[in-house]
Amino acid sequence: MSKEQQDAILVTSHLGIDFGGLTAVDEFNISIAPDEIKGLIGPNGAGKTTIFNLLTKVYQPSRGRILLDGKDTRSMSPVQVNHAGIARTFQNIRLFDKLTVEENVRIGLHAHVKYGMFSGIFRLPAFWKEEKRAHERTLELLDIFGMADMAGVRADSLPYGAQRRLEIVRALATEPKLLLLDEPAAGMNPSETEELMKNIRKIRDEFKIAVMLIEHDMNLVMGICENIVVVNFGKIIAEGTPTEIQNNPQVIEAYLGGRKEEN
Amino acid sequence: MKLKKHTKISFLNYGIVILFFIVVQILASGGMLTNSLRGQLIPILSYVIMALALNLVVGISGELSLGHAGFMSVGAFSGVVVSMSLAGSIPDPTLRLFCAILVGALFAGIAGVLIGIPVLRLNGDYLAIVTLAFGEIIKNVLNCLYVGVDGSGLHMSFKDTASLGLAADGKVLINGPMGATGVTKISTFMGGTILLIIVLVIIQNLVNSRTGLAIMAIRDNRIAAEASGVPVTRHKMIAFVTSAAIAGAAGALYALNYSTIAPKKFDFNTSILILVFVVLGGIGNMTGSIIAAALLTILPELLRKFADYRMLIYAIVLILVMIAGNNPRIRSFLDGIGKKAKKEGAGNE
The residue ranges of every structural domain in chain B are: 5-302
Cβ B81 vs Cβ B96: under 8 Å: no
Q: Is B283 on the interface with A (CB under 8 A)?
A: no
Say if the Cβ atoms of A110 and B223 lie within 8 Å: no
User: At B154, phi and psi to the nearest 5?
Assistant: -85, 140
Check residue B347 and give its pLDDT. Answer: 43
Check residue A92 and give its pLDDT. Answer: 93
Confidence check: pLDDT of A24 > 80: yes
Buried/exposed code over B15-37 (b: 16+ C-beta within 10 A; e: otherwise): ebbeebbeebeeeeeeeebeeeb
**Cα end-to-end distance, chain B, whole Å:** 11
Q: Is B197 on the interface with A (CB under 8 A)?
A: no
Confidence check: pLDDT of A236 > 70: yes
Q: How far apart are CA A167 and CA A244, in angstroms?
A: 31
User: At A257, phi and psi to the nearest 5?
Assistant: 90, 135
Q: How far apart are CA B347 and CA B342, in angstroms?
A: 9
Q: How far apart are CA B314 and CA A189, in angstroms?
A: 51
Q: How far apart are CA A93 and CA A186, in angstroms?
A: 10
How big is the A-B interface in CB pairs under 8 Å? 94
Contacts of B210 in chain A (CB under 8 A): 106, 110, 113, 115, 120, 130, 134
Q: How far apart are CA A244 and CA A228, in angstroms?
A: 9
Check residue B345 and give its pLDDT. Answer: 47
Exposed, middle or buried, A123 (CB in 10 Å: 0-12/13-18/19+)? middle
Structure confidence by residue, pLDDT tens digits, A184-219: 999 888 999 999 999 999 999 999 999 999 999 999
B206 vs A56, A79, A120: nearest CB: A120
**What's the alpha-carbon Rg for chain B, to the nearest Å?**
21
Exposed, middle or buried, B81 (CB in 10 Å: 0-12/13-18/19+)? buried
Say if the Cβ atoms of A58 and B202 lie within 8 Å: no
Angle at A118 between CA A114 and CA A124, to 5 degrees: 75
Q: How far apart are CA A58 and CA A46, in angstroms?
A: 18
**B116 CA to centre of own chain:** 18
Q: How confident is the model at residue A261 (pLDDT cuts 50, 70, 90)?
A: low
Residue (of B154, B161, B146, B176) closest to B85 by Cα position: B154
Residues of chain A with pLDDT > 70, as a percent, come to 96
Say if the Cβ atoms of B228 and A110 lie within 8 Å: yes
B205 vs A106, A121, A130: nearest CB: A121
**Order of strands across the sheet with A227-232?**
A86-88, A178-182, A210-214, A37-41, A227-232, A235-240
Tell me the H-state helices in B221-327.
Answer: 222-227, 232-255, 268-281, 286-302, 310-326
Check residue B281 and give its pLDDT. Answer: 87
Check residue B341 and give its pLDDT. Answer: 58
Check residue B338 and give its pLDDT. Answer: 61
Cβ B52 vs Cβ B199: under 8 Å: yes
Q: How far is A153 from chain B (nearest CA, A)?
A: 12
Q: Which residues of chain B have pLDDT under 70?
A: 1-3, 303-307, 310, 314, 318, 325-326, 334-349
Residues of chain A with pLDDT > 90, as a percent, come to 86
Q: How far apart are CA B329 and CA B319, in angstroms?
A: 17
Model-level pTM?
0.90
Cβ A76 vs Cβ A65: under 8 Å: no
Q: Which residue of B has its CA nearest to A94?
A: B224
Check residue B310 and give its pLDDT. Answer: 67
Distances (CA, A) of A117 to A48, A120, A127, B211: 39, 5, 9, 6
Check residue A262 and give its pLDDT. Answer: 46
Check residue B325 and give its pLDDT. Answer: 66
CB-CB neighbours of A50 under 10 Å: 19
Cβ A158 vs Cβ A101: under 8 Å: yes
Q: How confident is the model at residue A263 (pLDDT cuts 50, 70, 90)?
A: very low
Residues 6+ apart with CB under 8 A from A141: A105, A169, A172, A173
Cβ B215 vs Cβ B36: under 8 Å: no
Confidence check: pLDDT of A27 > 90: yes
Q: How far apart are CA B74 and CA B249, in angstroms?
A: 9
Check residue B349 and give its pLDDT. Answer: 36
